[in-house]
């Protein structure tokens, strides 16, 4: 039997045997990559999985101070892009994660609080340090994957969340504003690694899931 197998292999052309071997190698590499999650993260996120992180819930819109406010029954009007988000994408967020006042009956109207703590100009409603290593990995996987981003259809920035991620050997954290209503991000203190800064729908869902785990709907 061994002789028969050997003679059969010998009759296969060398080029065919080489092609088959290359194919087998490619399959093995693909299987190995899938099993080990070999997709690399873009810098600087590839070095941030164990970094200190803080996530902020932000007031995405505050009415202008008087006498600037002119429109609306209360002297101000929610921007059209946020109104559209309320009707569509805001359904991703439970009421406890929505900025107050955007949906009638879910909280007080937003107010311009000059003495409130702020994250890049946006009022901080709540914040949580990220302690869980798996959740840290999820955060850097979102921001470190090019597939999370697309060309932005809007340049507006009404941020609902902020992320501060410590950078190795850099004194300032990598800060990221996330606007789900604008489907747009804005980065600070580091070079954004992509040509796009618009969020894909899948990336938006992942950020909502991260926020839910951190803030638990409050």
Question: Tokens standing for 68?
Answer: 């600037």
Q: Which of 48, 17, 162 is nearest to 99 (CA)?
A: 162
Query: At 154, is the pLDDT very low, low, confident or very high (cuts 50, 70, 90)?
Result: confident
Computed over every residue of the chain, the mean pLDDT equals 79
Task: Return d(Cα 58, Cα 124) in angstroms, integer.
Answer: 5
Task: Return d(Cα 123, Cα 199) in angstroms, integer.
Answer: 22
> Would you state the pLDDT for residue 100?
75
Residue 10: is its pLDDT beyond 50? Answer: no
pLDDT digits (tens, 9 = 90+) for 51-61: 999 999 999 98
User: β-pairing, 174-179 with 122-129?
Assistant: unpaired
- For residues 89-118, give the mean pLDDT: 69
Q: Decide which of 174 and 17 is more confident.
A: 174
Task: Return d(Cα 75, Cα 98) in angstroms, integer.
Answer: 22
Query: At 108, is the pLDDT very low, low, confident or very high (cuts 50, 70, 90)?
Result: low
- For residues 42-58, give the mean pLDDT: 96
Q: Which of 203, 171, 155, 164 is nearest to 187 (CA)?
A: 164
Question: Tokens standing for 84?
Answer: 């559209």
> Would you state the pLDDT for residue 166?
98
Strands in the chain per DSSP E: 53-58, 118-119, 122-129, 149-150, 161-165, 174-179, 184-188, 198-199
> Would you state the pLDDT for residue 104?
60
Task: Tell me which range, 60-64, 104-108, 165-169, is most confidently predicted by mean pLDDT.
Answer: 165-169
pTM of the full structure: 0.74
Cβ atoms of 155 and 197 closer than 8 Å = no
């Amino acid at each position: 039997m061994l002789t028969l197998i050997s003679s059969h292999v010998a009759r296969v052309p060398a080029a065919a045997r080489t092609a088959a071997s290359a194919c087998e190698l490619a399959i093995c590499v693909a299987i190995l990559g899938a099993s080990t999650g070999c997709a690399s993260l873009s810098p600087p996120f590839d070095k941030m999985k164990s970094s200190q992180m803080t996530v902020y819930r932000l007031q995405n819109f505050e009415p202008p101070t008087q006498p600037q406010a002119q429109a609306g029954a209360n002297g101000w009007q929610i921007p059209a892009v946020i109104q559209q988000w309320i009707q569509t994408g805001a359904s991703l967020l439970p009421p406890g994660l929505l900025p107050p006042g955007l949906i009638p009956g879910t909280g007080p109207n937003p107010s311009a609080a000059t003495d409130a703590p702020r994250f890049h100009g946006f009022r901080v409603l709540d914040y949580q340090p990220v302690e869980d290593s798996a959740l840290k990995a999820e955060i850097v996987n979102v921001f470190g994957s090019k597939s999370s981003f697309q060309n932005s259809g809007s340049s507006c920035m009404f941020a609902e969340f902020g992320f501060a991620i410590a950078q190795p050997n850099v004194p300032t954290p990598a800060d990221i504003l996330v606007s789900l209503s604008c489907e747009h991000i804005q980065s600070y203190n580091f070079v954004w690694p992509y040509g796009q800064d618009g969020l894909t729908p899948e990336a938006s869902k992942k950020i909502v899931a991260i926020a839910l785990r951190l803030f638990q709907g409050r």
